[in-house]
Amino acid sequence: MNNPAVKRLPEHLKKYIVDQRYMDYTSIDHAVWRYIMRQSYHFLNKHAHAAYFEGLKKTGISIEKIPNIDEMNEILAKIGWGAVCVDGFIPPNAFMEFQAYNVLVIAADIRFIEHIEYTPAPDIVHEAAGHAPIIANPEYAEYLRLFGEIGSKALSSKKDIMLYEAIRKLSILKENPNSTEEEIHDAEFEVLNTQNNMGELSEMAKIRNLHWWTVEYGLIGSLENPKIYGAGLLSSLSESQACLNPEVAKILYSIEAANYSFDITTQQPQLFVTPDFAHLTTVLNQFADSMALRKGGAEGVLKAIESEAVATIELDSGLQISGVFTDLIVDEEGNVAWFKTSSPTILCEQNKLLSGHGTEYHSHGYSSPIGTPLGFEKPLQMFRFNELKNLGIDFGKQVNWEFKTGIQLTGKIYTIRKNKNADTLIISFIDCKVSYKDRILFQPDWGIFDMAVGEKIVSVFAGSADKAEFDPNSYISATTTQRISNQSKRLLELYSIIRNMRESNQLSTETLMTIFFELKNHFPNDWLLSLEILELLNPSSSEYKTIEDYLISMQENNNYRNLIINGLNLLK
């Protein structure tokens, strides 16, 4: 929490943060990290964007051991970023909001050796070794921040939440060595079934696609000879190599990528190539221009209604209304004439709650017409107090208004609320009746009517305007990750001995061979520690030849054939 970016995080995001528990990482965990990073260095040196290796140095990420988040934060602070640990997948809006605050979320767990090439679960390899290095590039870091700022406001659907929960469940089951094949099969079916029945994609679904094809699985450069920059590719030993094969189609990155959904359970059939990092921001802004965030209007309110979750509309007066929107009336020209929420609602300005207009006051919802009454030469919010008085708009005065949209309002003015710039935000009435044609929208016996002042809706976005006061969308999944290991205590001890020997540079060939023979006799399926022992021996020695021959014989097992081959090739 000493990192400036992390310190700036609002309270509603801090509840996702968990302790890294660094001392819980085993020597096998560190060996898994070390193998992946050594292989990645070797391959990515030729195939990753230059910013990746520059970033590894700037972020202080070591090949030898799993990074400590506290140490990372000291270094990330120098480039204006921070990092926090979270429990696996967190909701997309929250994930992106962390990015908007220049904070990288890192899943604290690390993949098991059985999933060393690829895991669908977010882990510290993917987050720290994949995401963190690239953000050292200022142009890309700004893209990531802007993506978070825009993406966190994207409107979701109920099916988006269902898909998030299905993916989270699958990732946890796949990383649990005790999961049955039936459990994993059922979870995979649930993910695929949900993906195939999403219907029309929501804003969140589309921007999540853009995130996948850039931040996670992006390529950069030319279609003929692209480089890797996406974290999902950088952190996957198998897919980082497979993605460059001609069989994987390469498409020039454009806004059309928003319509390409992805499947986390398999390698991607196509990838998108951006010519440079600046192009990413161009496409992002193109997409943002299509969002309710920037378009507002009736289309934005309809998206908010379809989401069935708390959303915010902002009027051109600056007034913001946050609640679950359930109804609207549109005039003949397509303009919003009236809107309604049917849940606890707050009114805000500049993302801060207006005193007296919290959920206790608007506990059952809120509704209001918007627009200008007939006979007014300018929007109502622009009139100053003396101008309003000249029009007969004053405390205790009766008004009979007909709006251009056809809304009728009669009532006695109770209060007029302005902001510090003297713009009118709310006019409250008593004995008020609001109607549209034959439909009654508000009756006098319902109490005080607080009319929102504004000509039009300029923005609609997901969540509450003031999350410190009202944040019902923010939740933590009931499904938690489980760090379950079937590794033998003795095997852990052997890994620890080899690690200590390498780090202290106090090598004993006799001890190394004793451990090797114990491995061979009691842990015949372990291949990684034999590679680590081989690395410490003289390549021209008979002991080296003995272990090398043993590893070559182990290649008959297809489960780790390529891993052993790549490990031996790296030593050579």
Q: Which SS3 state, helix, strand or coil, does residue 25 take?
A: coil
Residue 181 has a pLDDT of 83
Helices 528-536 and 27-47 pack at an angle, to 10 degrees, of 80
Q: Token pair 């959303």 is at which residue?
A: 311
With bands split at pLDDT 50, 70 and 90, how would you rate the model's confidence at 53? Answer: confident
Q: Is the pLDDT of residue 175 over 70?
A: no
With bands split at pLDDT 50, 70 and 90, how would you rate the model's confidence at 43? Answer: confident
Strand bridging mode 82-86 / 219-221: unpaired
CB atoms within 10 A of CB 123: 26
Q: Is the pLDDT of residue 88 over 90?
A: no
Q: How far apart are CA 63 and CA 129, in angstroms?
A: 9
Q: How far apart are CA 403 and CA 191, in angstroms?
A: 49
User: Which of 454, 441, 457, 459 is CA-nearest to residue 372?
Assistant: 454
Residue 59 has a pLDDT of 82
Q: Which two tokens stand for residue 57?
A: 């140095």
User: Which of 68, 81, 72 is CA-nearest to residue 8?
Assistant: 81
Region 111-115 average pLDDT? 83
With bands split at pLDDT 50, 70 and 90, how would you rate the model's confidence at 157? Answer: confident
pLDDT tens-digit readout, 371-429: 989 989 899 999 888 888 888 889 999 999 999 999 999 999 999 999 988 889 999 99
Q: Is the pLDDT of residue 478 over 60?
A: no
With bands split at pLDDT 50, 70 and 90, how would you rate the model's confidence at 481? Answer: low
Average pLDDT score, the chain = 90
Residue 473 has a pLDDT of 64
Contact 153, 310 (CB under 8 A): no
Contact 550, 104 (CB under 8 A): no
Residue 105 has a pLDDT of 92
Region 217-229 average pLDDT? 95
Region 565-570 average pLDDT? 91
With bands split at pLDDT 50, 70 and 90, how would you rate the model's confidence at 102? Answer: very high
With bands split at pLDDT 50, 70 and 90, how would you rate the model's confidence at 479? Answer: low
Contact 56, 133 (CB under 8 A): yes
CA distances, 58 to each of 102, 469, 511 (Å): 16, 38, 37
Residue 111 has a pLDDT of 84
**Planar angle of CA 505, 511, 516, nearest 5 degrees:** 110
With bands split at pLDDT 50, 70 and 90, how would you rate the model's confidence at 474? Answer: low
pLDDT tens-digit readout, 284-303: 999 999 999 999 999 999 99
CB atoms within 10 A of CB 411: 23
Question: 360 φ, ψ to 5°?
Answer: -70, -40
Q: State percent of the chain over pLDDT 90.
A: 63
With bands split at pLDDT 50, 70 and 90, how would you rate the model's confidence at 206? Answer: very high
**Planar angle of CA 114, 527, 132, nearest 5 degrees:** 55
User: Which of 260, 310, 298 is CA-nearest to residue 470?
Assistant: 310
Q: Which two tokens stand for residue 536?
A: 């410490």
pLDDT tens-digit readout, 513-558: 999 999 999 999 899 999 999 999 999 999 999 999 999 999 887 7
**Planar angle of CA 331, 336, 338, nearest 5 degrees:** 95
DSSP state, residue 15 = T
**Planar angle of CA 233, 189, 558, nearest 5 degrees:** 55
What size, in residues, is the chain?
572
Q: What is the dihedral of CA 396, 402, 406, 407, to 10 degrees?
A: 10
Of the segments 55-64, 110-119, 319-328, which one has the largest average pLDDT value? 319-328
DSSP state, residue 201 = P
**Burial (CB count within 10 angstroms: exposed 0-12, middle 13-18, buried 19+), residue 314:** buried
Residue 174 has a pLDDT of 72
Residue 273 pairs in a beta bridge with 219, 252
User: Which of 429, 435, 432 is CA-nearest to residue 410?
Assistant: 432
Q: Which amino acid is at 323?
A: G
SS (H, E, C) 26-71: CHHHHHHHHHHHHHHHHHHHHHECHHHHHHHHHHCCCCCCCCCHHH
CA distances, 188 to each of 182, 184, 198 (Å): 10, 6, 16
Residue 165 has a pLDDT of 79
With bands split at pLDDT 50, 70 and 90, how would you rate the model's confidence at 126? Answer: confident
Phi-psi region of 18 (alpha: psi -120 to 50; beta: other; left: phi over 0): beta
Q: How far apart are CA 350 and CA 457, in angstroms?
A: 15
Q: Which of 80-94, 193-207, 526-540 has the lowest mean pLDDT?
A: 193-207
Q: For residue 408, what is the enclosing H or E element?
A: strand 407-418
Contact 63, 84 (CB under 8 A): no
